[in-house]
Amino acid sequence: MNVRNAASSGDGPTVISTFAGCGGSSLGYKLAGFRELLAVEWDDNAVETFKLNFPEVPVYHGDITKLTGSECMRLAGIGPGELDVFDGSPPCQGFSTAGKRKFDDPRNSLFREYARLLKELQPRVFVMENVTGMIKGHMKQAYLTIIAELRACGYRAKGEVLNAMYYNVPQSRERVIIIGVRNDLGIEPSHPKPQTRPIPAGVALEGVENRTFNRPLATVATAIWNKAKPGQNGTCLRPGYYMNSLKVDPAKPMPTIPKICPGGGGHMHWSERRTLTIEEIKRGASFPDSYKLVGNFEKQWERIGNSVPPNLMRAIATHIKENILTHA
């Protein structure tokens, strides 16, 4: 790929997205008026999906541990200190409250690759997203380690827990959002305040066309659906089991959409005996109906479950543009 001076052409602040996935964060930045200079992602299905939806954005398809800062800047057409925002959501399964939360889980070390590139690129602002499990119990030490390392890169950094359901996303999804501002700019990092009331799932799914992957329920999931009331999960059938299979309550936002849709049913419709379709969970994550996904049901569900809701990132990006970059 040829070097291009992308930072000096076009309008709007610039962003590079690492751990880009299928483009949830990228769409949020785009809706906020940013220009994405480069996306970094290694998963084949995620890259294929990203390219379908962002054909204009260059993609580094490979292992981030092998991407040098100089190569990253060459691909983006920028020099040190020229980038506005450096974004990333390092894989967070090792911190997730849904897992065993092992401090030494190798997946937890990928934030150091993010920090390595941050130190080399020296953007004006960085945004890092992760699960709330990293600030709970004994895992809080991991959070303090991350904050200290990010600050050591030359930034004032601050983390807050934001729930996507207050940012025009019909899904209750809490995430730690760490925002940093380069020390020489003299600006304290800040986060957007809640902007909307929670959107009920029933409202969000109005008019959706269930075109594909209308997956029927397995035997156990059928039993859960028959017994569960809207809002209840599978523990109503067998206490301590089937917690990840639930009947969505149409009067409330969807619960957090996980990476894996379990065979026990996952997010089930409240009035139809079935798992929600891909089109429906796209609505729950604030992706537009036109957003293209590829692969089988499990792969498409994984892309949505792993992504940052676009409307949440749009709110964050807009806040950064209006309250930080305008003063930098």
pLDDT tens for each residue of 20-30: 999 999 999 99
Q: The tokens 């049901």 sit on which residue?
A: 297
Please, which residues bridge with residue 155 across strands? 182
Cα distance between residue 239 and residue 15, in whole Å: 46
Write the CA distances from 99 to 131, 258, 307, integer angstroms.
Answer: 12, 12, 18
Annotated catalytic residue 72: no
pLDDT of 212: 62
* C-alpha gyration radius of the chain: 20
- Separation between Cα atoms, residue 41 and residue 65, nearest integer Å: 11
CA distance 143 to 148: 9
What mean pLDDT is reported for the chain? 90
DSSP-derived pairing of the beta strands 125-131 and 174-182? antiparallel
Rounded to whole angstroms, the Cα distance separating 12 from 43 reads: 29
Q: Which fold has domain 6-197+309-327?
A: Rossmann fold (3.40.50)
Alpha helices in 13-62 (DSSP H): 24-31, 44-53
Is 315's pLDDT higher than 90? yes
pLDDT at 211: 67
150: left (phi over 0), alpha (psi -120 to 50) or beta: alpha
Catalytic residue among 92, 153, 236, 261, which? 92
Please report which confidence band the pLDDT of residue 76 belongs to, taking 50, 70 and 90 as the band edges: very high
pLDDT, one tens digit per residue, over 287-312 is 999 999 999 999 999 999 999 999 99
Nearest 5°: CA angle at 201, between 198 and 204?
90
The proportion of the chain whose per-residue pLDDT surpasses 70, expressed as a percent, equals 90
Burial (0-12, 13-18, 19+ Cβ within 10 Å), 240: exposed
Can you tell me the mean pLDDT for 54-83?
A: 97
pLDDT by residue (tens digit) across 158-204? 999 999 999 999 999 999 999 999 999 999 999 999 999 999 999 99
- 41-76 per-residue burial string, b: 16 or more CB within 10 A, e: under 16: bbbebbbbbbbebbeebbbbeeebeebeeeebbbbb
Q: What is the reported pLDDT for 213?
A: 59
Whether the pLDDT of residue 264 is over 80: the answer is: no
